[in-house]
């Protein structure tokens, strides 16, 4: 087994898609990857070969059946590859009650993306998991990231209350809707709308172009009454045609804006968790806020000052 792990580990670091497919089913490889990445004794070339955590932009996509998720993902994935990205698609499928395998077969519905060497598609049977989230989805994302894929698209089975699990796994959550207008809006669960960072109206071409514009206006009105999932971000509603490609550049530029806007927030949170002094200060202040002896605003200001002092010390040490 150790020899097999060694071979797969080397292939994974080289970005081989076949090695990635086998690695996803081998738990030992992920553990070794994490051990070597953060081990003080691991060779530097091993550490450098593995991208840092969250270097991959993780995007979750959901929507009702028939909305055109796979068609959109193929068109969007090819658009991203043309821009120089490497795209991994984790498509969580319904499972066969007999064999346990995937039923829908996403690879057959994304023929052009499947054949592209800079894309990787992994249909994962959900095996009865509610909301369409496979248990190994998070592990698969880590391995795709280690194999050099900088964008990971997670397609779920459909709209369900447990889709919130996907939103917690990814950096951005996208809801795909058809030009159904009011009827579909009324039938859409409020919960799935509240966790969406962007709403994409599909099939915005041909005879459905006008219906797509009406749906865009209706969903835009609906999002005004939703509380943003992250910060002050207001989820935009954008139309797209997966056939003509119209709308894809705008969707990607908006996603990039979202990613860059909250990258600073992520880095701050990461630093807060890594710096021992700041972490201890945060815990102490948290207790004071809980006891009512300190206001949250003063606590936040104190933590920020501690973080800035930590950075200042680090800069001084690097300049010595």
pLDDT band at 190; cut points 50, 70, 90: low
What would the two tokens of residue 192 be?
A: 């799935």
Q: Which domain does 28 fall in, by range?
A: 2-49
What is the model's pLDDT at position 93? 59
- Tell me whether residue 167 is in a domain: yes
- Tell me whether residue 241 is in a domain: yes
What is the model's pLDDT at position 102? 45
How many structural domains comprise the chain? 3
DSSP characters over 163-199: GHHHHHHSSEEEEEE-TTTHHHHHHS-HHHHHT-SEE
pLDDT band at 199; cut points 50, 70, 90: very high
Report percent pLDDT > 90 for the chain.
28
User: Quick one: 36 and 149 in the same domain?
Assistant: no
pLDDT digits (tens, 9 = 90+) for 12-39: 888 888 888 888 877 556 666 655 554 4
Please tell me the pTM assigned to this model. Answer: 0.74
- Tell me whether residue 248 is in a domain: yes
Greater pLDDT, 220 or 186: 220
Average pLDDT, the chain: 77
User: Quick one: 113 and 236 in the same domain?
Assistant: yes
What is the model's pLDDT at position 98? 44
By the 8 A CB rule, do 124 and 28 touch? Answer: no
User: Quick one: 194 and 122 in the same domain?
Assistant: yes
Give the end of a domain, one of 261, 284, 303: 261
What is the arithmetic mean of pLDDT over 307-315?
Answer: 75
170-174, 231-235, 236-240, 248-252: lowest mean pLDDT where? 231-235
Backbone phi, then psi, for 100, in 5-degree steps?
Answer: 85, 0
């Amino acid at each position: 087994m150790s020899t097999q792990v060694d071979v797969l580990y080397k292939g994974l670091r080289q970005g081989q898609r076949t090695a990635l497919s086998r690695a996803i089913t081998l738990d030992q490889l992920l553990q070794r990857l994490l051990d070597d990445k953060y081990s003080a004794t691991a060779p530097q070339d091993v550490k450098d070969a593995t991208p840092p955590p969250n270097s991959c932009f993780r995007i979750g996509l959901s929507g009702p059946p028939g909305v055109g998720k796979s068609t959109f993902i193929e068109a969007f994935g090819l658009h991203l590859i043309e821009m120089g990205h490497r795209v991994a698609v984790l498509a969580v499928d319904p499972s066969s009650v007999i064999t346990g395998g995937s039923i829908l077969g996403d690879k057959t519905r994304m023929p052009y993306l499947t054949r592209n060497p800079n894309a990787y598609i992994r249909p994962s049977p959900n095996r009865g998991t509610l909301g369409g989230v496979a248990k190994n989805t998070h592990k698969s994302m880590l391995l795709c990231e280690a194999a050099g894929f900088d964008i990971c698209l997670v397609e779920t089975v459909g709209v369900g209350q447990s889709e919130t699990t996907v939103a917690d796994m990814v950096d951005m959550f996208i809801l795909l809707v058809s030009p159904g207008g009011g009827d579909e809006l009324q039938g859409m669960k409020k919960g799935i709308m509240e966790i969406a960072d962007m709403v994409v109206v599909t099939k915005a071409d041909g005879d459905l172009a006008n219906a797509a514009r009406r749906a865009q206006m209706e969903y835009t009105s609906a999002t005004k009454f939703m509380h943003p999932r992250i910060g002050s971000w207001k989820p935009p509603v954008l139309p797209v045609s997966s056939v003509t490609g119209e709308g894809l550049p705008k969707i990607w530029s908006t996603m990039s804006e979202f990613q860059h806007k909250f990258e600073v927030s992520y880095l701050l949170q990461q630093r807060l968790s890594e710096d021992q002094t700041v972490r201890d200060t945060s815990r102490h202040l948290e207790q004071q806020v809980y006891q009512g002896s300190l206001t949250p605003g003063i606590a936040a200001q104190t933590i920020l000052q501690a973080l800035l002092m930590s950075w200042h010390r680090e800069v001084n040490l690097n300049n010595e």
